[in-house]
Amino acid sequence: MSAPARPESLALLERLVAALKAKGLVSEEELAARQASTDRASPEIGARMVARAWLDPDWRRLMLRNGAAAAEQMGVSMAGAPPLGILEDTPSLHHLVVCTLCSCYPRAVLGYPPHWYKSFEYRARAVRDPRGVMAEWGTVLPPGTQVRVVDSTADYRWMVLPLRPAGTEGWTEDQLTAIVTRDALVGVALPQVPVAIAAE
């Protein structure tokens, strides 16, 4: 059995990298460093930022004023990354993030976007019927909560700072981080207190 054909895209990538190196625009070390930081990025970073904001008012203020500076303090390299904006939910206002034009996503603090975020269905429906889309995640907002859909169309990337759920009083940063899911940071879901804990 012969080896599978080498994809043409790989050869193209190699030629591009060689051309960029020849022009002195990138080095092997920079590529490796970027690859490593891309691989490290995961929703846990965003979740920890939120947990810290629930515990520390100074951190919360920093994060709302300059999301990228807050991410840097978490050890994330924001060099070359778009500015990060944080959308603060309140009891009367819930944010939902979508990119109707493509799939802009705060990768530096959430990692790769999930497949549904890039789907035509999510992109078309979130902006038109956000409550219907959220209901399919089982997310029904308390009466009196307005929905604000943030269409990420240009140079910022947006992450939601959800409300801290009741029943988490006295929790540590690690405990709080664990209930902030990727979906809650996009706004399709709300942080949930596990039933077993809530029943205690």
Partner 1 sequence: MSEAAFQPGARVQVRNDWPERRGPCHIRTPHYLRGRDGTVQRVLGSFANPEDLAFARPAPPRPLYHVLFDQPPIWHEGAAGDSLLVEIFEHWLEPAASPVQEAA
Quote the least distance from Cβ 130 to partner 1, whole Å.
7
Quote the least distance from Cβ 87 to partner 1, whole Å.
8
Quote the least distance from Cβ 159 to partner 1, whole Å.
14
Residue 103, interface with partner 1 (CB under 8 A)?
no
Report the residue from 8, 28, 146, 200 that binds partner 1 according to the rule CB under 8 A: 146
* Helix pair angle (43-55, 57-65), 10° resolution: 130
Report the residue from 44, 72, 88, 151 that binds partner 1 according to the rule CB under 8 A: 151
Report the residue from 42, 73, 119, 153 that binds partner 1 according to the rule CB under 8 A: 153
**Count of positions on this chain that bind partner 1 (CB under 8 A):** 20
In the region spanning residues 49 to 88, those forming contacts with partner 1, defined by CB under 8 A, are 83, 85
Cα 144 to Cα 23, 90, 91, 94, 97: the distances in Å are 57, 11, 8, 10, 20
Report the residue from 15, 61, 65, 131 that binds partner 1 according to the rule CB under 8 A: 131
Quote the least distance from Cβ 6 to partner 1, whole Å.
29
Residue 129, interface with partner 1 (CB under 8 A)?
yes
C-alpha–C-alpha distance, residues 200 and 164, integer Å: 19
C-alpha–C-alpha distance, residues 187 and 154, integer Å: 19
Report the residue from 130, 162, 187, 191 that binds partner 1 according to the rule CB under 8 A: 130
C-alpha–C-alpha distance, residues 129 and 122, integer Å: 10
Cα 72 to Cα 45, 63, 79, 83: the distances in Å are 11, 10, 9, 11
The question of whether 99 is a catalytic residue gets the answer: yes
Residue 152, interface with partner 1 (CB under 8 A)?
yes
Pairing relationship of beta strands 84-88 and 146-151 according to DSSP bridges? unpaired
For residue 147, the SS3 value is strand
Return the percent helix, strand and coil in the chain, to nearest 5: 50, 10, 40
Catalytic annotation, residues: 99, 102-104
Question: Footprint of partner 1 on this chain (CB under 8 A)?
Answer: 83, 85, 100-101, 127-131, 146-156
